[in-house]
Amino acid sequence: MNKFEQNKIVDNGLYYLLSWFSPNYPVGSYAYSHGLEYAVETGIVDNIYHLENWIKDLLFYGTGANDAIFINQTYESILSNNYELFVDIAIMSKSYMPTQEIALESEQQGISFYKVTSATLSSKKFEKLINSIMSYITYPIVVGCAGALINIKKIHLINSYLHAFISNILSAALRIMPVGQTDIQCLLFKFKKDIQTISINTLSKSIEDIGSSTFMIDWASANHEDQYSRLFRS
């Protein structure tokens, strides 16, 4: 079997996705709770059912849905060589961060993802593109750019990103809530259809569909910045 036949059987993009969204990829996701720590501290989220609703809101009406659109739009701007649009999307992504804490989370993850991915990809184009938006860098923009440059299937890229996004929040919940690992894994699998639905719907959405209605989550994130005793970064 020659190399071409091997590549047809094994999707090279899968290896990148498994690496990029592995807990071992050093983007620092473990350091953030996306406001969940404050919600748990104040009793807003105090059981597995509240946690499920909290994450579902994030997926459909908050950061999850918005990040998916930003990945999609970034990906398309790179494929069409529209670098002016790429910069505009990056600026918009930065401006849509609802709180200082969430902005820091996305910025730091974006920078970390860029540093390690630029080392592994060795792509001058990737480095040039990201350096052009370094003042507006966010995690979904860097992911969308990298995915487009190595031609990862867009639906797989978005699906993997969202899976990692909620996995990080569930990991935070495991450390600060009275829930077990089996409960967390069962909840993760309950989101399978939701992630698939959002990923598919995102492909037909435009930048004009960006928006958020997760006011309680944003409020919790804003208050977490001044929380006296906390485990997660703010």
Does residue 111 belong to any structural domain of this protein? yes
Q: What is the pLDDT of residues 71-110, one digit of tens each?
A: 999 999 999 999 999 999 999 999 999 899 999 999 999 9
pLDDT confidence of 10, banded at 50, 70, 90? low
Does residue 19 belong to any structural domain of this protein? no
> For residue 227, is pLDDT > 50?
yes
Q: What is the pLDDT of residues 182-213, one digit of tens each?
A: 999 999 999 999 999 999 999 999 999 999 99
Does residue 134 belong to any structural domain of this protein? yes
Amino acid sitting at position 31: A
d(CA 67, CA 192) in angstroms, rounded, equals 17
Does residue 110 belong to any structural domain of this protein? yes
Q: Which residues contact 92 (CB under 8 A, 6 or more apart)?
A: 70, 207, 210
> For residue 159, is pLDDT > 90?
yes
Give the model's pLDDT for residue 224. Answer: 86
Distances from the Cα of 88 to the Cα of 56, 91, 94, angstroms: 29, 5, 10
CATH for 86:
1.10.4190.10
Does residue 36 belong to any structural domain of this protein? no
Give the domain extent around 74.
48-205
Q: Under a CB-based contact definition with an 8 Å cutoff, are residues 150 and 167 in contact?
A: no
Give the model's pLDDT for residue 9. Answer: 52
Does residue 30 belong to any structural domain of this protein? no
Does residue 153 belong to any structural domain of this protein? yes
Give the containing element (helix H, strand E) for 115. helix 100-121
> For residue 29, is pLDDT > 50?
yes
Domain count, the chain: 1
Does residue 200 belong to any structural domain of this protein? yes
d(CA 5, CA 7) in angstroms, rounded, equals 5
Q: Under a CB-based contact definition with an 8 Å cutoff, are residues 145 and 6 in contact?
A: no
Extract the tokens encoding 139: 């995690």
SS (H, E, C) the chain: CCHHHHHHHCCHHHHHHHHHCCCCCCCCHHHCCCCHHHHHHCCCCCCHHHHHHHHHHHHHHCHHHHHHHHHHHHHHHHHCCCHHHHHHHHHHHHHCCCCHHHHHHHHHHHHHHHHHHHHHHCCHHHHHHHHCCHHHCCHHHHHHHHHHHCCCCHHHHHHHHHHHHHHHHHHHHHHHCCCCHHHHHHHHHHCHHHHHHHHHHHCCCCHHHCCCCCHHHHHHHHHHCCCCCCCCCC
